[in-house]
Amino acid sequence: MEVVWAVGQVGAVWMAVVLGLIMVPSALGISLGISEAYMWVLVKTLEWATIRLQNGAKKPQPQVPRTPTANGIIERDETPMEKEIALLHRADFEFSHIFYFCRKGFEAIVEDEVTQRFSSEELLSWNLLTRTNVNFHYISLRLTVVWVIGVVVRYCFLLPLRFTLAAIGITSMIVGTTVVGQLPNGSVKNYLSEVVHLTCSRILVRALSGTIHYHNKENRPQKGGICVANHTSPIDAIILTNDGCYAMVGQVHGGLMGIIQRATVKACPHVWFERSEMKDRHLVTKRLREHVADKSKLPILIFPEGTCINNTSVMMFKKGSFEIGGTIYPVAIKYDPQFGDAFWNSSKYNIVSYLLRIMTSWAIVCNVWYLPPMVRKEDEDAVQFANRVRSAIARQGGLTELPWDGGLKRAKVKDTFKEEQQKNYSKMLVRNGSVGSLSAETESD
């Protein structure tokens, strides 16, 4: 009995600390300075570790440029096809032209610019989490002791604390939205729904030790609009909901995610689709247009890439989100990998493993930029509009803009991509008269 009583006392003290110092302040949107102090200590520790690594290295390491492609192992030449082939000999057909295509093929085999976007970003210095570089080896006893202390803090203190907050946040979300969902439709229900979503999102952000910097809040998405953002992680939605409420768009799931979806849709006009409906693009567009037409409803939150990218690039935006009409509110999200890797590599980790990695990292630090609203121009189709929005997000977030479809994460390259290169080469030959001269020579023979 004494053991049970002691455990109960410890549990009571633990919950009192969680409720009084973290949960209540986060629900009210205030800070007691604990997170700021934690981040200050963390930054100073990582700076000290970086200095120790630099001083303890036996050989000086070459300076690596701080660019999204710094992880590359080959140097690419972005010279256009026609210009590079002309440098080989001349613009007419020559057997030497194959060297251009061979080199491009070798580059794709060694390191293509697509699949590397589906793996975690390489760090420039060790962040005392994982040794992601061969240069991060044993340096000193002092640095090893600090790393061991970090493991104990992350797994024995931060993990239980974050798990407790996450359980409270998810349970509050399910119970709160279920209760609010029983109220009749009206302003009171909408207000309480926004309060529940906002409060629970703040608690979940604290569960990740999240430090989020929002910029240009005057451009925040308004009701009746469409918010589009680059996609790195499932927590992107929580990061944005921490500063405002949105109507989510996505596929119906099972398990715990399904329970949350069924509860939240009762209180908020989220748009969930069955798998069969997702394949019917016209039906999806119709439901989204009906939502946007009602200016009293929350803005729709869409991630048009359709998959998670490692926060170094922005890939092709699906045009469906830009065919709906209405005002687009672009949002750029950029995570700081020094404190934790927010990228979800779904082909390598399931959702449970990913959440464990997130909850045992130091913190989730990111910047969110609200860009000025954009509307589709009269002479602009949906693809051009999507590319314009993507370019704006990439510029603001300091991300590399890639034209490739994120679906290549799990699918093969479409034949249309290969045919496009063939068409470009054939147009070049036709324009220079090579095809005509070859045909004439054939006829004379």
> CA-to-CA distance for 32 and 47, rounded, in angstroms?
25
Residue 403 domain-assigned (yes or no): yes
Question: When comparing pLDDT for 100 and 167, which is higher?
Answer: 167
Asked if residues 221 and 299 have their Cβ atoms less than 8 Å apart, the reply is yes
Beta strands 328-335 and 300-302 are unpaired
Residue 162 domain-assigned (yes or no): yes
Question: When comparing pLDDT for 381 and 62, which is higher?
Answer: 381
pLDDT the model gives residue 442: 47
Domain with 381 in it: 141-409
Residue 29 domain-assigned (yes or no): no
Question: When comparing pLDDT for 411 and 383, which is higher?
Answer: 383
Q: Which of 150, 123, 149, 146 is nearest to 136 (CA)?
A: 123
pTM of model > 0.85:
no
Asked if residues 239 and 368 have their Cβ atoms less than 8 Å apart, the reply is yes
pLDDT the model gives residue 66: 45
Inform me whether the pLDDT recorded for 60 exceeds 70.
no
Residue 424 domain-assigned (yes or no): no
pLDDT band, very low/low/confident/very high, at 68 (cuts 50, 70, 90): very low
Average pLDDT estimate for 167-171 = 89
The percentage of the chain sitting over the pLDDT mark of 70, rounded to a whole number, equals 68
Residue 370 domain-assigned (yes or no): yes
Mean pLDDT lowest among 78-92, 109-123, 342-356: 78-92
Q: Give every CB contact of residue 40 below 8 A, 6+ residues apart in sequence.
A: none
Inform me whether the pLDDT recorded for 77 exceeds 80.
no
State how many domains the chain has.
1
Average pLDDT, the chain: 77
Residue 242 domain-assigned (yes or no): yes
pLDDT the model gives residue 413: 63
pLDDT the model gives residue 209: 86
Write out pLDDT tens, residues 259-282.
888 888 888 888 887 756 555 667
State which of 173-182, 340-349, 412-421 shows the largest mean pLDDT.
Answer: 173-182
Mean pLDDT lowest among 237-241, 368-372, 427-431: 427-431
Q: Which residue type sits at 336?
A: D
pLDDT the model gives residue 333: 94
Residue 244 domain-assigned (yes or no): yes
Residue 429 domain-assigned (yes or no): no
